[in-house]
Each structure stands twice: as C-alpha cells, then as structure tokens.
Amino acid sequence: MRRLRVLLGAAGALCCLVVPAIDAQAVRAVHPQVGIGDENLQMFADPHFLALGIKDVRFDVSWDVLSKKYKDHYRLKVLEAWLASARADGMTPLITFDHSDRKGQSRKLPSVAQFSSAFRQFRKLYPWVKEFVTWDEANYYGEAIAQAPRRAAGYYLALRRDCPSCTIVAPDLLDVASARQAVPMARWAHEFVHDARRQPAYWALNNYVGANHLSTTSTRALLRAVTGNIWLIETGGIVTLPHHGKVGFALTAKHAARVDNFLLTRVAGLSPRIQRIYFYEWRPVRRHAGWDSALLNYDGSPRPGYDVVANALASWGTTPDCAISTAPPPCAASTGASGTSGASATTAASGTSGST
C-alpha cells in the first residue's frame, strides 16, 4: 500500500489496454475466499463487518516485531490486540512479514538464522496462527530483498521447516509496470524458484495497478510464471491518493466500487488457482488519509464498494447476518430497511451509486 503512491504514476500504459466488459457470468462456480486486510481494531466490533460473515483477515508486521530493541512497542501492542480480537471472533489470520520498523534497520536483511529465530519466537507465543506470507512486496526496489531472491528463498524454506503444519506463502509480489521501480514479477519469481529448488504451492500478489486500471495483465503474468495457487493479499479500488500525480484512473468511490466488482468477477474468474482476495482496507485511518482504498467512509458509513462485496458474498452463498446489521444490501432488500447504502453490485460497478 505505502509503495503505490509513487508506483501508480508509472503505470499509465495500462490505462490504454482494452478492458473487457464486466460480466457477472464470468464468475466461476468455485469462488475465491474473501478477506480483509486491515490493522484497524474497530473492524472487529463493526456490525457492518460482522454481518458479512468474512472469516479471513490479514496483518502486515515487521519480521522483528518481538525484538526487545524496539523503544516503542506500540506496533506489538496493536498486533497483540488484533490477534486477540481475530481469535475471539473465530477468524483465520494471515500474517505477512516485512522489513524492520526500527530506525535505520529497514534496509537491513536478517540472516536466515535470525529470521528463523524470530519466527519460532512468534510461533511460541501464537501457536494457533497457521498462515504466513514470507515477505511483503519482495520485488519492489524499496525493499532490500528485491536484489536477494536467494535470501528470500532461505526465509521461505526456514518457515516451512520450522512449521510443517503451517500454510507458508511465497514472498508477496507487487504488480509494477516499470522495471526501474521493481524487478519484473516473472523474473523475480523464476530466480526465487531456482534458489528454493521447488515451486511453492502458494504465491501472494498485490495487484493494485492492474486492478485499478481494470486490467488482468499483471495477474495473468504471474499465473503464467508460477504453478502454485495465488492469493491476492492486498488489493482494492483506490479512493484517495494525495500528491499522486497522474495515475490514469478516477480517484472516486464510484470507480473504486467498479474496481472491487472487477476483482470479484473478471480477476476471480481467471483461474481456479486464484484462491483468495483480501481487500485493503476496511476503514480509513483518518479523515484525510494519505492512502484510502477502504470499503467504508471515515464516519463508518458504507461506500458502494461495501455493497459490491456484500452482494458478491451473498450470491456465492454467504448470507449476511441481518440480525447483526441491515446495512448489507441483501438485508436491506429483505427487510425493507432504510438508511443503508443500498447500492447493488451492478449499480455500483456502473458508477451510478452515490457516495462520499
């Protein structure tokens, strides 16, 4: 997420691609699981969220979050509270490891032994957490690991060795079009596979660029480059991106809803190997956030994108719990409730649903 402010501007070429019309019939019979990636603790108490029945959630954390060298353990406290809430609500957390947040340490990669030790410490504290992504946006030049696929392979193999019962996902890749800002996904993946001497069963992808340009190019490129399943662990329509320059798409809630619909139809229908889609984010961290791809407004009211997700889940058989909230459109339709966002996925995708 934090990388895309500078990266989206370099992806203008994608806007010139011919985009097929969104077709609800393109969604395959077996649908991907839908999750939310957000570290906002309010989400777990939000009736809008609880009513949807979503059980997959994601948290991005520094690999050394448990280190005693941190002077401020705020991030650790957030992690502890987030995991406690996820567990209490019976949700499945996906943990993505990232560079250190300590001052002066973000470009320093741990040795495989250090990474393994930190992971085993994490597992000792949270043995019930079973799903992990090796590293976040590993092909992006803002990450030191972009030039070290062999080290990344070492981390991946260490995670598999240290927790054979866990689901270990290969490093997350970012779909940046410019080779000046990131190693091309296919090249980085091929080098990683060569160094790991195996094809991982699971890969992770952040496809903001392709999704927001309504293009499947980047996702299809990764599908061709690897043989494993793909989890879109951070994606969604972008609503606000201050100081962004030209990005080639409308920064509005209406377009974001169209993007979300595109992800749940066109992208989800590309291959049965696309197993999960985690939307980032649930709710903006502040009224004028530097990044906003949320399904809710800052005041907690649903945007058209929320309706898109709610309708998709309902059409796939996940009926919302209207006793918790009547905000999901299927609840509003069945109860005649007023005052909800009430935009259908089709309406929102066509850009006619009102929002702020």
* Contact yes or no for 223/270 (Cβ under 8 A): yes
* Contact yes or no for 11/251 (Cβ under 8 A): no
pTM reported for the whole predicted model: 0.88
Does any domain span residue 295? Answer: yes
Strands laid side by side in the 202-206 sheet:
167-169, 131-133, 92-98, 56-62, 33-37, 274-279, 229-235, 202-206, 172-174
Does any domain span residue 356? Answer: no
Does any domain span residue 175? Answer: yes
Per DSSP, the three-state class of 140 is strand
Does any domain span residue 354? Answer: no
State the pLDDT confidence band at 144, using cuts at 50, 70 and 90: very high
For residue 24, the model assigns a pLDDT of: 42
Largest alpha-carbon pair distance within the chain?
59
Residue 232 predicted with pLDDT over 70: yes
* Contact yes or no for 52/318 (Cβ under 8 A): yes
Question: In 5-48, at which residue ranges do the beta strands (DSSP E only) sit?
Answer: 33-37
For residue 71, the model assigns a pLDDT of: 75
Rg of the chain, C-alpha, whole Å: 19
For residue 7, the model assigns a pLDDT of: 52
Cα 254 to Cα 242: distance, rounded to the nearest angstrom: 17
Does any domain span residue 111? Answer: yes
Cα 106 to Cα 218: distance, rounded to the nearest angstrom: 27
Residue 17 predicted with pLDDT over 70: no
Query: Domain with 106 in it: what CATH number?
Result: 3.20.20.80
CA 284, 288, 292, 294 torsion-angle sign: positive
Share of the chain above pLDDT 70, in %: 85
Question: In the chain, at which residue ranges do the beta strands (DSSP E only) sit?
Answer: 33-37, 56-62, 92-98, 131-133, 167-169, 172-174, 202-206, 229-235, 274-279
Does any domain span residue 268? Answer: yes
* Contact yes or no for 59/93 (Cβ under 8 A): yes
Name the residue range of residue 216's domain: 4-349
State the pLDDT confidence band at 330, using cuts at 50, 70 and 90: very high
Tally of domains in the chain: 1
Cα 273 to Cα 220: distance, rounded to the nearest angstrom: 11
State the pLDDT confidence band at 288, using cuts at 50, 70 and 90: confident
Poorest-confidence range of 110-119, 139-148, 267-276, 281-290? 281-290
For the stretch 198-221, pLDDT in tens is 999 999 999 999 999 999 999 999
For residue 113, the model assigns a pLDDT of: 98
CA 277, 283, 285, 289 torsion-angle sign: positive
Q: What residues contact 355, with CB distance under 8 A and at least 6 apart? A: 252, 253, 254, 257, 297, 303, 304, 341, 343
Does any domain span residue 197? Answer: yes
Q: What residues contact 329, with CB distance under 8 A and at least 6 apart? A: 307, 310, 311, 314, 340, 341, 342, 343, 344
Q: What's the Cα-to-Cα distance from 162 to each of 13, 94, 155, 165, 170, rounded to whole Å?
A: 43, 17, 10, 9, 15
For the stretch 169-207, pLDDT in tens is 999 999 987 888 899 999 999 999 999 999 999 999 999
For residue 20, the model assigns a pLDDT of: 39
Q: Read off the tokens for 178.
A: 């410019």
38-70 CB burial, b ≥16 within 10 A, e <16: bbbeebbebebbbbbbbebbbbbbbbbbbbeeb
For the stretch 65-105, pLDDT in tens is 999 888 778 889 999 999 999 999 999 999 999 999 998 99
* Contact yes or no for 327/340 (Cβ under 8 A): yes
Q: Read off the tokens for 341.
A: 């966002």
Does any domain span residue 355? Answer: no
